[in-house]
Amino acid sequence: MIVTRTPLRISIGGGGTDLPSYYRRRGGHVISAAINKYVYLAINATFTSDYLLKYSEHERVARIEDIQHALLREVLAHYRAQPGLEIVSVADIPSGTGLGSSGSFTVGLIRALHAFRHQQLSTAALAEAACHIEIDRLGAPVGKQDQYIAAFGGLTRFAFHPDDSVEVDRLAIGAETQADLEEHLLLFFTGYSRSAATILAEQKQRSERDDAAMLANLDAVADLGTQIGTALEGGDTQRFAGLMHEHWEHKRRRTGGISSGEIDAWYDLARANGALGGKLVGAGAGGFLLLYAEDTRRVRGAMAAAGLAEVRFGFDHDGSVVLARS
């Protein structure tokens, strides 16, 4: 049996510029952070002539093409996995909540399948293989940051170039700055989001049409991603918080479905209680609200009174790893 552990993520800055519809035109720039909430994948030989798949549903099928879970089906088809496999997935946070779970699932599954076959795969190749499954094979209108941060981990800067190459750099932040972020960044669950693909489809279509307003919005977000990286490397968390607020203002103007009256009210409530900045994590319309607050007790109290549950987290620096072999 092989067991892999792959982190979920919070997008810090530049999200949306990692879609091919944008970065192939202008180049993308994203700051992302892996967190210590995980997707676990286990692969085991069953010595049967079928595929036994356990996730939020249960499937037992004889042929790969009959698998209902799209990511499982495409990964197994791409790697021509033979029957006689049991695959089990569990996660710390449910899917569809904006923390990049589909990217983490795909990365973890590919890592597990290679380990099961005793094959080596570099971290960059792992990330790109997961992108190929989601973007090329499935045609999902999603970006590349989720797969890359799931593979690499850490607080990381990604530059997505028009020729599809990707530069990966760990942010050069000190232990004091990291501790500051882990103390003052708060994550609150607002409710399940819609499919990221649904929300991102409009961005993809408008970018491909060279829509001036969409490209200008994403240009500003890419620049904010660069500024956020500079602020964090300089240890200026106050500046970082202000940039997060500016980033959210741009993001929620991008399309009509990203925010809602209820989400805006929660964000305003957090700001009224001392949050210096924040943003909705993921594509939008629900999921998690990430806030930077100096007075964390006051913000926690206000969010709890509004009925929002908090998920406490730290950063993950390992990326996708094999936890067990037997």
Backbone phi, psi, residue 58, to 5°:
-130, 125
Q: What is the pLDDT of residues 23-53, one digit of tens each?
A: 999 999 999 999 999 999 999 999 899 999 9
Helices (H), 27-143: 70-78, 101-116, 123-131
Q: At 194, is the pLDDT very low, low, confident or very high (cuts 50, 70, 90)? A: low
Alpha carbon distance 202, 199 (integer Å): 7
The topology under which CATH files domain 175-310 is Alpha-Beta Plaits (3.30.70)
Asked if residues 321 and 312 have their Cβ atoms less than 8 Å apart, the reply is no
Domain ranges across the chain: 2-171, 175-310
Alpha carbon distance 308, 265 (integer Å): 12
The topology under which CATH files domain 2-171 is Ribosomal Protein S5; domain 2 (3.30.230)
Asked if residues 180 and 239 have their Cβ atoms less than 8 Å apart, the reply is no
**Rounded mean pLDDT, 6-13:** 96
pTM of the model: 0.94
Q: What is the pLDDT of residues 125-171, one digit of tens each?
A: 999 999 999 999 999 888 999 999 999 999 999 999 999 999 999 99
* Counts of helices then strands in the chain (DSSP H, E): 11, 12
Give burial (CB, 10 Å; 0-12/13-18/19+) of 8.
buried
Asked if residues 177 and 237 have their Cβ atoms less than 8 Å apart, the reply is yes
Pick the closest to residue 39 from 325, 326, 320 (CA basis): 320
